[in-house]
Amino acid sequence: MRLTKFGHACVRVEHEGTTIVIDPGVFTAEEAMQGADAVLITHEHFDHFVEDRLRAAAEAHPQLRIWTNRAVADQLDGLGTRVTVVGEGDAFEIDGLGVSVHGEWHAVIHPDIPQVHNIGFLLDGRVFHPGDALTLPPQPVDTLLLPIAAPWSKVSELIDYVREAGPARALAIHEAVLSEAGQLVHGRLLGEGGPGTGAEFRQLAAGESVEL
């Protein structure tokens, strides 16, 4: 399995000839979806989902299929059976690759800001993308995609989350809201310069890939 980091919360996963893209939002280069077989969207916020870009990708690639929650699916009217609504506890396959769905709600930004629904995706029991929530995967995973900065998060919670989730490695995502210096600070605290999480921590540059 090969994982490529794109802008912000987006990753592209290639496995045995199948390409899956998760959360290609406004901070993600549009070529992230080029030639993809499937797109998974965790929730409706613009840094994870851009309707016109996803529709353009679907038009350009007739084989493209989309799995997401009801709120996003409702914005993709007209794509018919190419869009599948999923939620907590669901499981499906993409060309033989097993995917399960975990979580229901976006993390609280502020009590006065309504919560939206958010789902996380576990691929092949090995790679977990939680979207914008600190949802625990159902078992320890090889790779946890860790949202390292957001209006709703703080580093102490992220450290405890990784400790509880127990992955072998944590790969940083959701960093666009940080300056370059901020990314260094967060990386240090979540990695070897912090109190320790029990997991290897790595920050990939946009376009950088890793074999899992």
The Cα-based distances of 178 to 118, 121, 206 in angstroms read 22, 24, 14
Question: Cβ(21)–Cβ(32) under 8 Å?
Answer: yes
Q: Please, are residues 24 and 6 in contact by the beta-carbon 8 Å criterion? A: yes
Q: Which amino acid is at 186?
A: H
| Structural contact between residues 57 and 51, judged by C-beta atoms closer than 8 angstroms | no
Residue 105 is classified by DSSP as: B
pLDDT at residue 23 in the model: 98
pLDDT at 159: 98
Residue with tokens 């690639």: 61
Cβ neighbours, 10 Å, residue 71: 15
Residue 69 amino acid letter: N
* Helix H or strand E encompassing 66: strand 65-68
Per-residue pLDDT of the chain (212 residues), as tens digits, is 999 999 999 999 999 999 999 999 999 998 999 999 999 999 999 999 999 999 999 999 999 999 999 999 999 999 999 999 999 999 999 999 999 999 999 999 999 999 999 999 999 999 999 999 999 999 999 999 999 999 999 999 999 999 999 999 999 999 999 999 999 999 999 999 999 999 999 999 999 999 99
For the chain, domains (ranges, CATH) are 2-108+117-211 (3.60.15.10)
- With vertex at residue 177, the alpha carbon angle to CA 171 and CA 178, rounded to the nearest 5 degrees, is 75
What pLDDT does residue 30 have?
A: 85
Alpha carbon distance 4, 204 (integer Å): 8
> What is the distance between the alpha carbons of residues 186 and 111, in angstroms, rounded to a whole number?
25
Q: How far is CA 18 from the centre of its chain?
A: 17
> Distance between CA atoms of 196 and 111, rounded to whole angstroms?
31
**pLDDT of res. 123:** 98
Q: Other CB atoms closer than 10 Å to residue 84's CB: what's the count?
A: 13
Max Cα-Cα span within the chain: 50
